[in-house]
Structure 1
Amino acid sequence: MSFKIFSLQLTGKIKPVSTIENRRKELANDYAEFQQTEASEELKAFLELDSWINSDEFKKKKKEIESLKFAGSLEENQLKEFQRLKKSARIRKYFKLANSSDLSKFENEKESQKMADFYALSEYVKEGQFEKEKKEIQSQVFKGSVEEKHWLDFRRLDKSAAFRAYNELEGSEKLKKHKALEQTDKFKKYNRLKNVSEQDKESKKEFVLLKRDAEIKAYFRFEKSKKLKLYHETVGSHDLTKYNELKEYISTDAFKKQEAFLKDKKKFEKSEACQKQQEYKKLAADSLVKFILKFEKSAAYKNYLDVKDSFDLKRYFELEKIIDSDEFKQQKVWLEDKKRWEKTEEFKKEQQHKQEQAKPEFVKYFKYQKSNDFDFLKNWEVVFEDDFTGKELDSTRWSTSSAAAEKLLGENYALPGDLNIFTNGKNLLTGKGLSISVKKEKSTGKVWQMPAGFVPTEFEYTSGLITTGSKFVMEDGILEAKLTFNPVKQVASSFYLAGDETAPRLNLLEMGAKNNVGISTLNGKGKIENSGLDILNLKKGSYIVSLEKSGASFTWKINETEIWQQNNSELNKPLQLNASSLVIEELSGSQIPVNFQIEWVKCYRKK
């Protein structure tokens, strides 16, 4: 029984695991916050501000501001310049007109449609276009015009004998009847008989009768008339074409309209030119037009235009804007204020520096900056971990067969005297940590017996083991595991580091018939011997047990309190992580099942 463990617990040096975990969590959170703060733009800005506040430049700036005054300042000069411009006669007259209703009326109406019409008509009347159009209109008369010539040509043709005959016969019944007779049998017979011989007296007699026929006599009278002759001369003649063209032309609305226009003695009074002249006279007499023209020529408006784009007015507005600004007013006030420093941006920065310096995250940052509290987190990194929260054991990290079993048989086997067989993961439960469960149940396995070799045997108990095997080996570093210390003397539950052989090995913790931390080796008789620290006095419960390996030197801790140191050169090599529960004595029914609880495992190495 170890008095050391009893003493450490009694004096409170082995702190509760919850205290350790809460402190670790708090420290991890603080470290994360520290790193976040260290990488933040806020800290960067604060450090820049801190550097500036403590710089000679800031101190000089503060001294300069405190020594400033309004008399002789830029602001005083700007105020005096503005007051001088404000009193200027030209500028006063400018503002008098600028704010007047007359200017507003002028600005609103100067480009109105009425003024646009007036200016356009004024230019039209005064620049000669009106007179030109007036003369042109008045010079247009019917006599001597092209229209008169065409009209006379038509009248001459229309009154001629030929066209009187043409107009009388063209389309007349008389002409139609005359032509129709030519197609009759009587007329054709007449033409045939007039050439018969004198000996054909019957035909001649018939011809004489036809010659005396009234229709035929009338036909030849009309055929020999002057009127029909004139008609035939006219049909198809050039004059007929011209006559028809002239007749059509003088019958058009355009000709009649132009004829009426040329004959109208009041054509000018009806013209657009005359209407424009009358509109111009009307607009020239309009009160608004008179106002615009008069205002445009006024001395006040001339001064307004001269000042409007002048440098003095631009400077006036520039100074007015400056002087009316809150910035100028505040500047004047603080220049006249003996406490002006407190109203500067620099003072605000100074206060900001004080406020930010007191921020919890910065206070915490600077507190840890000069401490070694984060040394472990800074200098060590996790290279292997498992919290066993999965539904099944992570096969990428663990095997459920020992290294020796994998090499010899490919499955777990027992040694002579073992009361249980290790199943291939059946006795392992994950989800809320790992539980290696010893159960009382019949199971068949193999036992190594000399010289027979592996012999099938029936076992009363089953258990389980885990090993990292070749998946992970620990070299120099720290192994930590949160374990439940609840020894049952009939079961040897252990978490240990070993090579391919079971001994020598480093026991992170062993409990059951023996409760210790330390090293297990084989003596000369092939029996396992333990050397280390007895922890039987350790109270039942959860503990964080750690083992630091540094070459051949090993240090054990429980809840971060060092409890044991030991050296062994044989174990200065890469080692596998192993955990198992072995039944060494018969168990009563009330003790079953026996569970070896491992909440999590972590391995660290130095960065």
Structure 2
Amino acid sequence: MANIFNTLFGSKFPKTEKYENEIKVLEKDFERFNSLENSEDVKRYYELDTLVHSGDFKQTVSKLKKERFKDTDAFKQYKKFKEHKRSSNVKRYIKLINKGKIEEAEELKATSEIQTFLELKKIVESSEFANQKAEMNDKKRFQKSKEWQLIEEFKSLSKSEDIIWYVKTKDHNSFKELGKWTLTFEDDFNGTKLDSSKWITGYFWGKALMNDNYVQANEQQFFKNENIELRDSCARIVSRNEECEGKIWDTKFGFIPKKFEFTSGLISTGQSFRQQFGRFEAKIKYSHTAPAAHTFWLLSEKMTPQVNIIKSPQAGKNKFEAGNFWSNGNEINQKIEKLKIPGSPDNFFIYTLDWAKDKLEWKINGVTVYQQTSNIPQTPMYLTLSTHFTDAPKAEKLPISMDIDWVRCYQQN
């Protein structure tokens, strides 16, 4: 889908609102296109289009327009009848019949000439012959034909606004790229509270093992449900300067209690949705202050693989980090690239990861900003969005927030 918009907007970054509106229009048109494609009107249009433009049909129409009674076999029989009627034997036969000389007439009737005459007479005096003659000489013969009706039906369909739009759209193949993708996950955060059938508000293993939250030992904040707000059709992760108690995960001692001076939030699809390969994107803005890490990332069952679609770095307000993490034995490897945001992160941008078997491709508003082609994850992963601190922030810099307008995932067909 983004390739279409690269074509639309060139190599420059489109404005988020314009880009998103283009997507919405295209998706709406795609829905209309699919609806029309399966409609009886479109099927009938193409059926008639094939028929009325066929050679046989055109020949039939030409005959209906040009052919008259004089061009038919029936007219040839009529001419033969007239010729026979002028012969002396036929005249004599008719005279004998008119005078009532039946015996003499019967003798003459036995000849082949009279037999042919009588057969032709029977034909030309039949109702079928009269009807054919009347039909063939009718100046409105074509307008009364089924072929004319089919042509008129085709013309009517050809003038339909839906058919005109469908044919034009089909010829331009506008949805070639869009049609490759199927929506597999979506949340627009339009409700009054977070959808618990889609999201959990903490690390997956905390919910799975003890139905509680925890953070890593090096994190300075604790994740609280109250720090996830739904406002203005957005999910807002708020980071605050407030004391609380929670748990950390210590590799030696396990889950242990700790007091925290800062709180934040995390939402994850670890219990509801995982996908291997596809498109993962979200519309995000955030207020940045060092050392906050606003992150949209993919996680797997273990510590790796992990992919950061966007992570705000400790330094550089208008930058973000794209990262890929993988294991090599007991060693965790990473490849991180610092990239520029085309504007302020205080404004919404659409951040996308296209994950194929042999490539990771990062995009902002549909424009590719970075790619990796080695150590590509090959296992299903789930979505996580969070804000955390590995160093203590300055209290006066808080609160800060990350707003998520929507999240969508697609699988390539």
Structure 1 match to 2:324: 519
Number of corresponding residues: 343
> Does the Cα contact within 8 Å between 1:532 and 1:566 map onto a contact in 2?
no
Q: How many Å apart are 1:439 and its aligned residue? A: 1.7
Shift of 1:510: 1.0
C-alpha displacement of 1:428:
0.9
Aligned to 2:65: 66
Which structure ranks higher in relative contact order (CA pairs < 8 Å, sequence separation ≥ 6)? 2
Whether the 8 Å CA contact 2:325–2:332 is kept in 1: the answer is: no
Residues 108-167 of structure 1: CA distance to partner in whole angstroms, max 9, x if unpaired?
Answer: xxxxxxxxxxxxxxxxxxxxxxxxxxxxxxxxxxxxxxxxxxxxxxxxxxxxxxxxxxxx
Q: Deviations over 1:278-335 (max 9, x none)?
A: xxxxxxxxxxxxxxxxxxxxxxxxxxxxxxxxxxxxxxxxx9xxxxxxxx9xx98994
In structure 1, the residue matched to 2:86 is: none
Partner-residue secondary structure (3-state), 1:15: coil
Q: Which amino acid aligns with 1:53?
A: V
1:506 maps onto 2:311 in alignment: no
**In the alignment, which residue of structure 2 is the partner of 1:412?**
213
2:202 is aligned with what amino acid?
S
Identity of aligned residues (%): 27
Shift, 1:506, TM fit = 0.6
Partner residue of 1:535?
Answer: 340
Query: If you compute each CA radius of gyration, which structure gives the higher value, 1 or 2?
Result: 1
Secondary structure at the residue paired with 1:393?
coil
Choose which of 386, 404, 427 in structure 1 pairs with 2:227.
427
Residue 66 to residue 527, structure 1, CA distance change in 2 (3 Å): closer
Could you tell me how far apart the structure 1 residues matched to 2:163 and 2:249 are? Answer: 65
Unaligned runs of 5+ in 1: 1-9, 78-318, 320-327
Contact 2:290 2:393 (C-alpha < 8 Å) held by counterparts: no
Of residues 361, 365, 369 in structure 1, which corresponds to 2:170? Answer: 369
Residue 489 (1) aligns with residue 294 (2): no
- Change in Cα spacing, 1:403 to 1:545, as seen in structure 2 (3 Å) is same
Alignment partner, residue 239 of structure 2: 438
Q: Which structure shows the higher helix fraction?
A: 1
| Residue type at the aligned position of 2:340 | I
Alpha-carbon separation, structure 1, partners of 2:192 and 2:255 = 33
Query: Match for 2:296: what amino acid?
Result: F
Deviations 1:225-274 (A, max 9, x none): xxxxxxxxxxxxxxxxxxxxxxxxxxxxxxxxxxxxxxxxxxxxxxxxxx
Distance (Å, rounded) in 1 between the aligned partners of 2:144 and 2:254 = 95
Deviation at 1:535, TM superposition (A): 2.2
Equivalent position of 1:561 in the other structure: 367
Note the C-alpha offset of 1:554.
1.0
State the Cα deviation string for residues 505-527 of structure 1 (Å, max 9, x = none): 21111125252223256999999
Q: Which residue of the partner structure matches residue 602 of structure 1?
A: 408
SS at match of 1:405: helix
- Residue 39 of structure 1: CA displacement? 1.6
Q: Does 1:389 align with 2:190?
A: yes
Question: Which residue identity is paired with 1:359?
Answer: S
Counterpart in 2 of 1:55?
54
Give RMSD over aligned pairs. 3.8
| 1:399 maps to amino acid | I
Aligned counterparts of 2:236 and 2:259: Cα–Cα separation in 1: 24
Q: Aligned to 1:571, what secondary structure does the other structure show?
A: coil
Contact 2:298 2:381 in 1 (8 A): yes
> How far apart, CA to CA, are the structure 2 residues paired with 1:404 and 1:475?
20
Provide the rounded CA distance (Å) in 1 between the counterparts of 2:270 and 2:31.
34
Of 350, 356, 359, which residue of structure 2 is paired with 1:550? 356
Q: Residues 332 and 502 (structure 1 numbering): CA distance in 2 closer, same or farther, change over 3 Å?
A: same
The residue that corresponds to 1:286 in the other structure is none
Task: Give the superposition deviation at 1:372.
Answer: 4.0
Contact 2:238 2:400 in 1 (8 A): yes
Whichever residue aligns with residue 339 of structure 2, its letter is D
TM-score with structure 2 setting the length: 0.70
Q: Distance in 2 between matches of 1:571 and 1:605?
A: 16
Name structure 2 gaps, 5 residues minimum. 1-8, 79-126
Asked whether the equivalents of residues 241 and 395 of structure 2 are also in contact (C-alpha less than 8 Å), the reply is: no
Equivalent-residue separation in structure 1 for 2:252 and 2:35 (angstroms): 66
Question: Quick check: 2:19–2:365 contact (8 Å CA) kept in 1?
Answer: yes
Partner of 1:586: 393
Q: Which amino acid aligns with 1:30?
A: D
Which AA in structure 2 matches 1:21? E
Matched, 1:23 2:22: yes
SS at match of 1:457: strand
The answer (yes or no) to whether the contact 2:305–2:377 under 8 Å persists in 1 is yes
Q: Which residue of structure 2 aligns with residue 291 of structure 1? A: none
Change (3 A) 1:33 1:537: closer
> What amino acid is the match of 2:272?
K
Q: Structure 1 residue 494: deviation in Å? A: 0.1
Matches within 5 A, 1:236-315: none
Shift of 1:462: 0.8
Residue aligned with 1:426, SS:
helix
Shift of 1:493: 0.6
Q: How far apart are 1:402 and its partner, in Å?
A: 0.8
